Structure 1
């Protein structure tokens, strides 16, 4: 049973999302929060698997709440917003969000999105393309890239190749086909990559691959 926390300052959205998810046989909504600070407290106390997080909330916003939740819990954060603005995507990914969707998503898509994020996969709205991630990592990083590049030496050759394919947006099945290995082997590679590099999920792995120079924006 997947445990979900819903954080949104609007009662209508919060209640609607909770109702949709509670109707699913494999979900239970363990709590609701009306602002970021309340979301952080609830995530710490209730230990949800996934937090549905609004961005614009009074007091502590969803970006700061996401950063705090990711720092102190193992919950995956799925950001939901009405605003399809690049800067929100950047900030949400930087804060540790595993997914980013617009609030006009259909109910079946919402449930599927929660399952994907809970399984450790990354999820971006269809309107959020790889270009956004490339733009993100091409911003000035004040010397971060060399430090990150040095950490690539922690990976084996097969792990580095797996990370490169993850950054290209391939699924585990597609990576298995490219590398001629089983999906189980790919999952093992991805798990070791995240552990060695201290990353939470595939979203952070993609960003790391670009920032470290393993993958070049606009390249193959």
Structure 2
């Protein structure tokens, strides 16, 4: 229970918090599943990669940069037809996960690529000398060696998506942002807005602390 809120609003706040977590973690899982292969492809085909190929690298890089450079609120509105095609609606938590996942894929792919590039070249050359194939180098050398950086990238993405999910409330995306707009702003209830802000801050602090702990646990330095 939240003592300064009526019981009905407390229940709505708990439901909205759950929706925010669902949007954040669901979108991040999709982003990791799609973003990691993209990052491996960008790394492999980029300059100094395992098999440089500008014809493959540049179009993918341009597409990722285009999505990353589009403000999220504009991206949400721009892909409403695509969202309807995928989930059958453009309103609600499930619908909000489509633009959230799309934005997160582009964001995390670049972060993953940077983490992969930080792996010591000597480790890669040693794997090559032992006869490892490109696929083995990517999956058994690069990914494990870059794990602290990959976890840090996931943490940054989760924190960013908490803010994005609140922004999704502006177009009926559900979650804490939607609750804050409908009650805190439109109905002039500052206690609701303050509660939403506090919960979002706690989410971010918790996610960041967990991510930092996992990075320390996986780091070999």
TM-score normalised per structure 1: 0.27
Which has the larger strand fraction?
A: 1
Which has the larger helix fraction?
A: 2
